[in-house]
Structure 1
Amino acid sequence: MSDQSIPIPDPVVFAPAHQRPTLLFVLLHDDAAGPDQLEGLKKALMAAFPQAALALMYGPLATAPSRHHWFNQDGLNEYNYVQRVEAALPRFIAYVQWVQKQLSLGGEATALAGFGQGATLALEATLAQPDLAGRVLAFSGCYASLPAVAPAATTLHFLHGANDPVVPKSVMQNVHAHLSDLGGDATLDIASSVGHDLHTALVDQAIHRLKTCVPMRSWKEAMSTLKEKSCDPDDGIDTQAPPGTTLH
């Protein structure tokens, strides 16, 4: 049971010292943890994207000063899990939108990065609010339930350990295939010999994905423009194989 006497700290925000941020990363810890859990990811993002602002949130419930939760864990089971995740979304979405407004940034310049249940919150938020973020980095986490639609404006990067005991890799492989069938824009990277862990190999791959993966929506727009400008309709451009959807 959460302890109402434990104060919930304000989110920790980092911003560039001498320039207006052009990107926003919102980082979400796993259950029973806090922003300190994301220190390695925070440092990697700050080094790779010095023009970005980072916001590290605390779960709104606490059972100890260092154990924060995004939703009530008491009696949590397969029958109430989805409902509890959905109940946590409005507060989270409202905060992201508030930060975006303060920084004059939109969803296309925002990435949500979550670990475990933090990843679940990020994934579900982009379904509930489709323009919230252009990217999601989901470390060792999955949707609360299999989505009926894929987010149209969000590229999803699933980063998972092959030995994850909480969310087996087979689940993530099925989710990735399902999103592909729905026309979603998603990548899946699985690190061998890694469990339920925010491992440096996964963090490094996340940075690589952010820097090199062209969102499918941008790719389609570019291909459409090239087709319109081309005099030859059979110019050899394959518009059926966008980058960033390969299972590794």
Structure 2
Amino acid sequence: MSPTSLIVQQPQGPASQLVLLMHGVGSVPQSLLGAARWFANRDSAAMVVSIASPEPSDVSSHGLQWFSVRGVTEDNRQARVDGAMPAFVATVQHWQRVSGTDAQRTLIAGFSQGAIMALESTKLAAPAALRIVAIAGRFATLPNRQSGAAIHFLHGDADPVMPAALAQTAQARLLQLGTEVTLDLAHGVGHEPHPALLERLSARLAPA
């Protein structure tokens, strides 16, 4: 929806799937171009877009955000995510209309805050996307019921911003609820969309 979102690949015919990349707080769509091109190379018929978060960041002079992290705590994070969720869903639905796809054929790959938004969207009664890749992400609060989405966690075991334990705890809860979930850890990787994480994802996704 934002003019600063970057269309990385747009097939001439019907799109086989829609892949949306969601960047972290204080960052920009260009930060995920490497990951976006990785998805594009896997499927030449996919529409791949690196999305611009809608709000100017209050922690970076040139970056963007879905919600502010100033003063964020375990107690208020969920409310901030909930406030941003309508715009997040509207963004996904906009690109679904552009690409002619639906939730079944939409994959959201989010990093950090982008992963938080993507994960939290799976709590909705009708998730906007049924495939989620959460890179260095977490839930604001753990879900309490099964989701129809398939969720893939990718996390560095040396992440100092969002410890890998957050992803491990989320995976355990999702398995308990019966949600389809995987978790891959990359040794020595910190808080970044590292190529080693995408290498692990390759085995999790069905061949294009």
Q: By the TM > 0.5 criterion, same fold?
A: yes
State which of 17, 22, 41 in structure 2 corresponds to 1:23.
Answer: 17
1:211 and 2:206 are equivalent in the alignment: yes
In structure 2, the partner of 1:221 is none
By how many angstroms is 1:65 displaced?
Answer: 5.9
Equivalent residue pairs, number: 204
CA distance in 2, matches of 1:56, 1:76: 26
1:62 and 2:62 are equivalent in the alignment: no
In structure 1, the partner of 2:43 is 49
CA distance in 1, matches of 2:61, 2:125: 30
Matches within 5 A, 1:164-179: 164-179=159-174
Residue-by-residue CA offset, 1:127-148 (whole Å, 9 max, x unaligned): 1253411210000001110111
Conserved? CA contact 2:133–2:154, under 8 Å: yes
By how many angstroms is 1:208 displaced?
Answer: 2.6
In structure 1, the partner of 2:194 is 199
CA distance in 2, matches of 1:12, 1:81: 28
In structure 2, the partner of 1:79 is 75
Matches within 5 A, 1:203-242: 203-211=198-206
CA distance in 1, matches of 2:71, 2:164: 26
Provide structure 2 residue ranges, at least 5 long, that are not aligned to the other structure. none
In structure 2, the partner of 1:189 is 184
SS of the counterpart of 1:189? strand
The structure, 1 or 2, with the larger RCO (C-alpha pairs under 8 Å, 6+ apart) is 2
CA distance in 2, matches of 1:10, 1:60: 9
In structure 2, the partner of 1:113 is 109
Q: Percent of counterpart pairs with the same letter?
A: 33
User: More displaced, 98-107 or 80-89?
Assistant: 98-107
In structure 1, the partner of 2:140 is 144
State which of 116, 126, 130 in structure 1 corresponds to 2:122.
Answer: 126
By how many angstroms is 1:95 displaced?
Answer: 1.6
By how many angstroms is 1:17 displaced?
Answer: 4.2
CA distance in 1, matches of 2:121, 2:127: 10
Provide structure 1 residue ranges, at least 5 long, that are not aligned to the other structure. 1-7, 213-248
By how many angstroms is 1:61 displaced?
Answer: 1.7
Residue-by-residue CA offset, 1:189-211 (whole Å, 9 max, x unaligned): 00111111111010122233112
SS of the counterpart of 2:183? strand
What amino acid is aligned across from residue 42 of structure 1 in structure 2? A
SS of the counterpart of 2:15? coil
What amino acid is aligned across from residue 47 of structure 2 in structure 1? A
What amino acid is aligned across from residue 206 of structure 1 in structure 2? L
Name the Cα RMSD after superposition. 1.7
Q: Rg larger in 1 or in 2?
A: 1
Residue-by-residue CA offset, 1:104-162 (whole Å, 9 max, x unaligned): 2111100010000100000111212534112100000011101111312x110000001
By how many angstroms is 1:96 displaced?
Answer: 0.9
In structure 2, the partner of 1:92 is 88
Conserved? CA contact 2:14–2:100, under 8 Å: no
CA distance in 1, matches of 2:105, 2:61: 32
TM-score where L is the length of structure 1: 0.77
SS of the counterpart of 1:160? strand
